[in-house]
Amino acid sequence: MKYGTLYGVGVGPGAPDLLTLRAVDTLKRAQVLAMPRSSDFGASMAWKIIKPVIGEIEGQERLFLTFPMNKDPERLVPAWKKAFQAIGERLEKGLSVAFATEGDPSLFSTFIYLQREAVHRWPGIEVVVVPGVSSIAAVPAVTGIPLADGQERIAIIPANYGVDDLPAILEQFDTTILMKIGSEMPNVLAAIREAGLADRAVYVSRATMPDQRIVRDIGQSGEEYGDCFAMAIVAKKQRNGVLAGDVEALAKATTA
Ligand SMILES: C[S@@+](CC[C@H](N)C(=O)[O-])C[C@H]1O[C@@H](n2cnc3c(N)ncnc32)[C@H](O)[C@@H]1O
């Protein structure tokens, strides 16, 4: 059987003008535009990002698929079955399906499961990934905190799967990015304080979106955290500027 092509399209971290030209082209051409949302009644962040750029496209079907933000298989499996069925029906008719995903499709994205399953469900299907600007690139941009230079090492941690090993990670890596923080924020804060890095940690929610929020020196803040589009970045290195004292580090990095 000749299936339609399945595209995984990264739509960037929030600002519509961070959509790539390739993403816009792919989203406009697809016969079916599939978008994840966290509840049957909730809005899709991917759609919010895309909408002002692509608007209505004649003949294109918009398919909203619900994936509960939950680790409970009893809730997840039926949602996945429904989504695979809806996408499969279209692919089997030879229709191209673009699955839009916030940020980049290859990082903590629903598309990863779809990509993995697609080759088994629809043998021979063509799957195309269109990379997007990840939140991992957006957060350094809005905070002015570089991720790494020279020999520095970066750790990326999905905090909602536990942060027991965070003290060791903070010690071993120059920059630590904590994604999917949610209710783990108190434990994240405790580990950062314990490591003496509270003044090197910044919390960012909704980077590049109109309601972006940046909290520097998170250890001092008693605010509540819990946004589902939020991360913390802990960058140990104090960057003083090359002429103000980083010359040695620069020489080391560039000769490495
Ligand atoms: C399911 S993951 C999706 C990541 C996405 N694929 C990417 O490349 O950025 C969701 C997590 O990404 C981070 N995130 C996504 N967009 C963000 C934004 N605009 N600002 C801050 N963090 C964001 C948060 O840590 C959030 O919990």
Q: How far is the CA of 195 from the centre of ligand 1 (A)?
A: 25
Domain boundaries, the chain: 6-130, 135-242
User: Quick check: CB of 203 below 6 Å from ligand 1?
Assistant: no
pTM of the model: 0.91
Residue 69 confidence (pLDDT): 78
Residue 221 confidence (pLDDT): 61
Q: How far is the CA of 209 from the centre of ligand 1 (A)?
A: 12
Residue-wise pLDDT for 133-151, tens only, equals: 999 999 999 999 999 999 9
Kindly list the distances between the CA atom of residue 22 and the CA atoms of 53, 129, 132, 138, in Å, as whole numbers in the listed order. 13, 11, 9, 19
Task: Write out the H or E segment, with its range, that includes residue 119.
Answer: helix 110-121
Residue 253 confidence (pLDDT): 64
Mutate to test the pocket of ligand 1, among 67, 76, 106, 108 (most ligand atoms within 8 A of CB): 108
- The CA distance from 49 to 75, in Å, is 27
Which of 200, 213, 79, 80 is CA-nearest to residue 139? 213
Residue-wise pLDDT for 219-252, tens only, equals: 666 566 678 899 999 999 887 776 766 666 667 6
Mutate to test the pocket of ligand 1, among 48, 179, 188 (most ligand atoms within 8 A of CB): 179
Confidence tier at 152 by pLDDT (50, 70, 90): very high
Q: How far is the CA of 50 from the centre of ligand 1 (A)?
A: 16
Q: How far is the CA of 180 from the centre of ligand 1 (A)?
A: 7
Lowest mean pLDDT among 6-15, 63-72, 88-97, 171-180: 63-72
* Helix axes of 45-54 and 21-29: crossing angle, nearest 10 degrees: 90
Residue 224 confidence (pLDDT): 65
Question: What is the arithmetic mean of pLDDT over 26-40?
Answer: 94
- Report the top-level CATH class of 6-130: alpha beta
Q: How far is the CA of 160 from the centre of ligand 1 (A)?
A: 13
Confidence tier at 74 by pLDDT (50, 70, 90): confident
Residue 124 confidence (pLDDT): 95
Q: Over 90: is that where the pLDDT of 86 sits? A: yes
Task: Write out the H or E segment, with its range, that includes residue 189.
Answer: helix 185-194
- Report the top-level CATH class of 135-242: alpha beta
Question: Higher confidence at residue 251 or residue 172?
Answer: 172
